[in-house]
Structure 1
């Protein structure tokens, strides 16, 4: 596998090409990476439902829930750029394992505290900060590893398959999670997530990951961080894409935060059907990723597909805000999931292909910071507005603006080049 590299004087990138650069998509490292994610994502979905239900039960306020979710999210925005630089300079496999172990132990402790009736809001916040901080290291490492263990010609298919497996896990986690929380309660659900993290760590221990080595000690951590920032800054398309994603995620986070409370507050829906609805959304995503893993989309068509998918996403959520009919909601969530899968896969693959290997973790870390910078504000705003004007109205207005943003993006030629995978000039 030929790597695009970016070097400074005195620096060398070594990807251990003697056998680790795989020629086949389905190789043992790809299998192990997928297996680890299966354990982790399944537990995460159950935990997410359990946590939201527990917070709502304790506070009975969407505003407080929004604030608490935002507080645990803020560290992710702050830490991500430093985490990306750290990952690019260290053993990525070790980063994955340590992150999973810390998350697993922390979540198990939360579960034990909940079982014995000792769990407090501040404890949930602290563990949320810990898990969120670990994700800042975990996901740049994952996104950086995938292009190094599969052929570049198979990268879009690899990302689609990776997302396909995760989405299948999401379907099971959400479908089971809503009813599981009702049957066994949040505490046991917390324990399930903790164990899933530890199983993920065990799976990742056996992965062989190519190393990115810096042979010169002259490059400091801060210089490396600045180089990553400058790389993003000099790429107009990448910079604009990140800013646009920031606003996309701001509005998406508002509706995401309100969906479970909306189901819980409506007698025709409920927590159990919330899990079913999210599972159906996952089925849509599953089929979307399946399509991208089997059908080759021409480069010149990818941007148009990206925009159309964004508009479809908006329309489904606008209609969703106007109905309490679960059957209609199920159809809308299915279509929404299909469109979201296309959006995410195109963005992910385009960045992986365009960015040099020793800038990749930093690029994804800066993406996380810039694209997620407004999400905590969105969560707080959604919780407050929901109590003032109603959850349905917030979601309706939210996705009207979301749709307008996608239409605006259509006219950004530099973003079009990124989505169509025209490589960025190496730094």
Structure 2
């Protein structure tokens, strides 16, 4: 089991997959991922549509900055509590509630717009509700996957899930543009509501047991929250992984968000150039996700994380040194190719090494890192890009990332953490479908 030292681990009722027939778990995973895919499609349509709508309506950087704050900050805050809920309640129920709240808020906004109310505060409120829903949904989804997936297949299932998300990044911008041009943003909102209903309906077909902790049924909520913080702080590998995750994500804001600015300044402001760069990145992610789903990655997943972290640093550095557009695009493809080889083994290791009754809280903090890291990175790098060249910022980010990763893998604490992560995981057994919902 893990090396967490935060008290005794509660007793958990969990066994091997409830239905050992291979067709059963595959069916459950397929239905679950199918529902999530449909729901994600609608959510991404709304994400693109709102940003375009605000840009065309106001052409204000302040408006877009406020939209980013309302779109990310609530998720970061709610994830703290969402992780605890995911460990105390039925995770399927939480996902259904979050999806329903998001769909209702989107439907309400569409109705207000139809009635002629178009205040920006309505869009900000909707973004905040959707973000808060994501703070509940993300820990529950991440912790639910190992409940319905045998441990030995987690890497492939996470790879498939990553491939789906990458494919959505390729498809949804074109669909959003088509629908937005012909039906306006209101049409996209109604599509999102329909996809949410379909996603919820498919999720209801998947039996998911509630994890029961016999020894702490009456533990106060905040005691659970504090225990989760202590667990992460005392778990050598999980602590190391989350710190590395946070630093890489903050510095990855440079290649993720500043590259369009570099293209416009250094290579030309033609739209097709921006599209090529985005496509190169997305296609790289899609290919890598498919390869992981087929190959399942290296057995030493810690090594995959370390190698891709170093690759992030080298590619970020190379992007800043690129003087040719096509070479630049090739490095963006390489960056996209590396992303799944970092994120998929990271998620899988957490699912394998963290006890089932603590996974919600751990993934809650992962959600905080993901929600805060990119805006935090851009809050520093964005203003600097108006003072220094993007090339110099990319080079600096690449060098800093390289130094941080080298330190993380060479200091004694880092070596101990990697050894703990590479050791045969006392992976939590997938939770039995003890009772049908």
TM-score normalized with structure 2 length = 0.82
What SS is found at the alignment partner of 1:350? helix
State the number of aligned residues.
Answer: 421
Q: Which residue of 2 aligns with 1:269?
A: 270
- Is the deviation greater in 283-292 or in 176-185? 176-185
Q: Which residue of 2 aligns with 1:346?
A: 345
Residues 247-288 of structure 1 show CA distances to partners (whole Å, capped at 9, x for unaligned) of: 222222455344566678886432x76556434423222221
The SS at the match of 2:252 is helix
Tell me if structure 2 keeps the 8 A contact 1:47–1:189.
yes
Q: How does 1:221-236 map to 2 (within 5 A)?
A: 221-236=221-236
Decide whether aligned partners of structure 1 residues 191 and 413 sit closer, same or farther in structure 2, where only a CA change above 3 A counts. Answer: farther
Which shows bigger deviation, 191-200 or 282-291? Answer: 191-200
1:71 Cα deviation after fit: 4.0
Residue ranges of structure 1 left out of the alignment (5+ in a row): 1-5
1:27 aligns with 26
Q: Offset at 1:65?
A: 2.7
Structure 1 residues 45 and 263, CA gap change in structure 2 (3 angstroms)? farther
Residues 110 and 419 from structure 1, CA distance in 2 versus in 1: closer, same or farther, beyond 3 angstroms? farther
Name the structure 2 match of 1:3. Answer: none
- Change beyond 3 A, Cα 1:246–1:38: same
Check conservation: 1:254, 1:381, Cα contact below 8 A. no
* Distance in 2 of aligned mates of 1:190 and 1:254: 31
In 2, Cα distance between equivalents of 1:395 and 1:53:
27
Q: CA deviation at 1:170?
A: 2.6
Q: 1:381 to 1:424 in 2, by over 3 A?
A: farther
Contact 2:146–2:351 (8 Å) recurs in 1: yes
Q: 1:240 to 1:112 in 2, by over 3 A?
A: same
Matches of 2:107 and 2:389, distance apart in 1: 36
Change over 3 Å in CA distance of 1:410–1:8 after alignment to 2: closer
CA distance in 1, matches of 2:61, 2:207: 44
Measured in 1, the distance between the counterparts of 2:394 and 2:6 equals 46
1:237 aligns with 2:237: yes
Q: Equivalent residue of 1:27, what SS?
A: helix
Distance 1:224 1:114, change over 3 A: same
- The CA distance in 2 between the partners of 1:331 and 1:297, in whole Å, is 23
Asked if structure 2 preserves the Cα contact closer than 8 Å seen for 1:46 and 1:173, the reply is yes
Instruction: After superposing the two structures, state which structure 1 stretch, 59-68 or 222-231, moved more.
Output: 59-68
Give the alignment's Cα RMSD to 1 decimal: 3.6
Partner of 2:433: none
How far has the Cα of 1:134 moved from its partner?
1.0
How far is 1:382 from its partner? 3.8
For 1:48 and 1:391, the matched residues in 2 are separated by 26
Q: Say which is worse superposed, 10-19 or 197-206, in terms of deviation.
A: 10-19
The corresponding residue for 1:54 is 53
Deviations 1:10-36 (A, max 9, x none): 954234868356655862210111111
Deviations 1:59-80 (A, max 9, x none): 5354653453134312222221
Using the alignment, how far apart are the partners of 1:186 and 1:33 within structure 2?
A: 28
Aligned residue in 2 for 1:246: 246
- Give runs of aligned pairs for residues 26-425 of structure 1, distance below 5 A: 27-62=26-61, 65-113=64-112, 118-177=117-176, 181=180, 186-215=185-214, 216-253=216-253, 255-258=255-258, 268-270=269-271, 274=274, 277-295=277-295, 297-300=297-300, 302-320=301-319, 327-370=326-369, 372-389=371-388, 393-411=392-410, 412-417=414-419, 419-420=421-422, 422-423=424-425
Q: Is the 8 A contact 2:6 2:231 kept in 1?
A: no
Q: Do the aligned partners of 2:308 and 2:338 also contact (CA within 8 Å) in 1?
A: yes
C-alpha displacement at 1:401, in angstroms?
Answer: 2.6
Q: Could you tell me whether the CA contact under 8 Å between 1:277 and 1:330 is conserved in 2?
A: yes
Gap regions ≥5 residues in structure 2: 429-437
With structure 1 as the length reference, what TM-score do the two structures score? 0.84
Q: Does the Cα contact within 8 Å between 1:92 and 1:209 map onto a contact in 2?
A: yes
SS at match of 2:397: helix
Check whether the contact 2:35–2:200 (CA below 8 A) recurs between aligned residues. Answer: yes
Asked if 2 retains the 8 angstrom alpha-carbon contact of 1:354 and 1:418, the reply is no
Aligned equivalents of 2:73 and 2:398: distance in 1? 23
Q: Are the counterparts in 2 of residues 175 and 278 from structure 1 also a CA contact under 8 Å?
A: no
Instruction: Please state how far the C-alpha of 1:45 moved relative to its aligned partner.
Output: 2.9
